[in-house]
Amino acid sequence: MRTMKIACTVLLVGGAVSSGTGAGATAVAVPAHFEPGSVSFVSASQGFALGTSPCASQPCTALLSTANGSKTWAATAPPPAPFASASSTSSASVSQVLFANASDGWVYGPTLWATNNGAESWTRVKLGGPVYLLATSAKEAYAVVGSCSPSAHNCPTPTLKLERATVGSSAWQTVQGVSGYGTTAVLTANGANAWVSFPPKNARAVTIWRSSDSGSTWQRLPNPCYQPSQATDLAGMASPGGNVLFELCAGNPGAGQEGKSLWSSTNGGKNGHVVSQLPLGGLALSIAAPSIGDIDVTAVSGASFVYRSTNGGRTWATHTFADGGAGFYDFAFATPSFGNTVEGSPVDGPNDDRLLETSDGGATWSPVHF
């Protein structure tokens, strides 16, 4: 869906880097053989895709935008950072894109760059470590930041922290008391609500926190997924809005399959109940909840799977992608019916990665042609 209890305020550092293109500028043709790695839509019309394409001068990072729901795309210059790949593990690279609206967005993973003018220019953001995860609501942005890069040989268990900023602001603040260790954090935000989970330093259950006031205060929640005898713990969280929270529990993997169950709460995660068991096929990747009734879970093994429920998780339909286990990245819905995901990723090496799109709530998925 990848963070020191030191209270601090971190500002954007460095000058803005002009892209030369953007809203109102002359459209630039999509580079040949563009390979998507990350996607972010803020509506059924406006979206951005980050990836890479062959070029004569490094870095070969490419950023595209659309204003008509993928009918046409144009290139805009990304920040001057290499795209992360299996052969390029530079600490200065980027791998993901996320926008809160048509103007305010970020490119990150592990470095962080911000724009407040729809990708016309970018500014480097320094949060004291590599950025693993980013989530945003309409008003707040949250970042999971590590003490070191998980790809480094001397970084087996990074310390994680949570940073918070108002969308459009240059000031980030460390959320005190919300921290953990490892590389399997979960982060999601919707409206005034935000949830984050971090693994502890030992082998106990992951710790879950929630804020219901746009990140001002945080409360610890019980972990309904933890079953050490089954090696089961929290694998994902999603909220369609308000106090409704769906949690994906997964564990006991083997032979390309894994036990998966859905837990539902109507009070933000304070308590709830198990809704159902999902099909065993694949290891859990992510969960999305475009509405209170529509829920999608992705998984991967020798193939990639989308498990879809239209009745709040009581029953599931399976959509199997025979892609050799490419997996899904940035699986998300901008509206209850319109969603996108990247199948495969350049980070994992050369593949026929593609952007997929749905306009019927996930019932069908179609490739996007750039």
Sign, CA dihedral 24-30-34-35, equals positive
My answer on whether 266 and 144 are in the same domain is no
The verdict on 228 and 176 lying in the same domain is no
pLDDT digits (tens, 9 = 90+) for 49-90: 999 988 887 888 999 999 999 999 999 989 999 998 655 557
Residues 303, 334: one domain?
no
Query: Is there a contact between 262 and 295 (Cβ–Cβ < 8 Å)?
Result: yes
CA nearest 94: which of 366, 360, 346, 296? 346
- Same domain? 100 vs 126: yes
First to last CA, the chain: 24
Question: 17 and 141 share a domain?
Answer: yes
Per-residue pLDDT, 211:
98
> Coil, strand, or helix at residue 230?
helix
Residues of the chain above pLDDT 90, percent: 79
Q: Which of 9-13, 50-54, 207-211, 317-321 has the lowest mean pLDDT?
A: 9-13
C-alpha span between 275 and 165 (Å, rounded): 34
Per-residue pLDDT of 286-301, as tens digits, reads: 999 999 999 999 999 9
pLDDT digits (tens, 9 = 90+) for 329-338: 999 999 999 9
Question: Domain check: are 232 and 305 in the same one?
Answer: yes
**Cα 275 to Cα 48, 53, 258, 370, distances in angstroms:** 35, 43, 17, 39
In a domain, 171, yes or no: yes
The verdict on 344 and 367 lying in the same domain is: yes
Q: Is residue 186 part of a domain?
A: no
- pLDDT for the residue 88: 57
Count of domains forming the chain: 2
Beta strands in 147-282 (DSSP E): 159-166, 171-181, 186-190, 193-198, 207-211, 219-221, 232-241, 244-254, 257-265, 273-277
**Alpha-carbon gap, residue 113 to 224, rounded angstroms:** 36
| pLDDT-wise least confident of 9-18, 46-55, 343-352 | 9-18
Tokens matching residue 45: 């019309």
Question: 110 preceded by cis ω (within 30°)?
Answer: yes
195, part of any domain: no
What secondary structure does DSSP assign to 12-53, as a single string?
A: B-S--EE-S-STTSPPBPPPTT-EEEEEEESSSS-EEEEEE-
Say if residue 309 is in the same domain as residue 331.
no
Contacts of residue 128, defined as CB under 8 A and 6 or more positions apart, other chains included, come to 8, 10, 145
Could you tell me if residue 20 is inside a domain? yes
Q: How does pLDDT run across 193-234, given as a tens digit for each residue?
A: 999 999 988 878 999 999 999 999 999 999 999 999 989 999
Q: What is the mean pLDDT of the chain?
A: 89
| Pick from 298, 296, 278, 294: nearest CA to 342 | 298
Q: Which domain holds residue 270?
A: 222-325
Residue 93: name the closest of 81, 105, 101 by CA.
81
Residues 45 and 172 in one domain: yes
If DSSP codes are grouped into helix, strand and coil, which group holds residue 78? coil
The C-alpha atoms of residue 305 and residue 301 are separated, in whole angstroms, by 8
Q: How far apart are CA 20 and CA 75, in angstroms?
A: 11
Same domain, yes or no: 305 and 158? no
Give the span between the Cα atoms of 348 and 84, in whole angstroms: 9
pLDDT above 70 as % of the chain = 89
What is the rounded distance in angstroms from the CA atom of residue 148 to the CA atom of residue 84?
A: 16
Q: What's the CA gap between 303 and 146, in Å, rounded? A: 31
Residue 130 has pLDDT above 70, yes or no: yes
pLDDT over 80 (residue 151): no
pLDDT digits (tens, 9 = 90+) for 24-56: 444 688 999 899 999 999 999 999 999 998 888
Residue of 330, 12, 331, 1 lying closest to 166 (CA atoms): 12
> Please, which residues have CB within 8 angstroms of residue 131's CB and are 6 or more apart in sequence?
3, 108, 109, 110, 111, 112, 143, 144, 145, 146
The two structure tokens encoding residue 222: 């019980």
**Using 50, 70 and 90 to split pLDDT, how confident is the model at 156?**
confident
Q: Are residues 37 and 114 in the same domain?
A: yes
Longest dimension (CA), the chain: 59
Whether 321 maps to a domain, the answer reads yes
The stretch 345-369 carries a mean pLDDT of: 85
Residue 25: per-residue pLDDT: 43
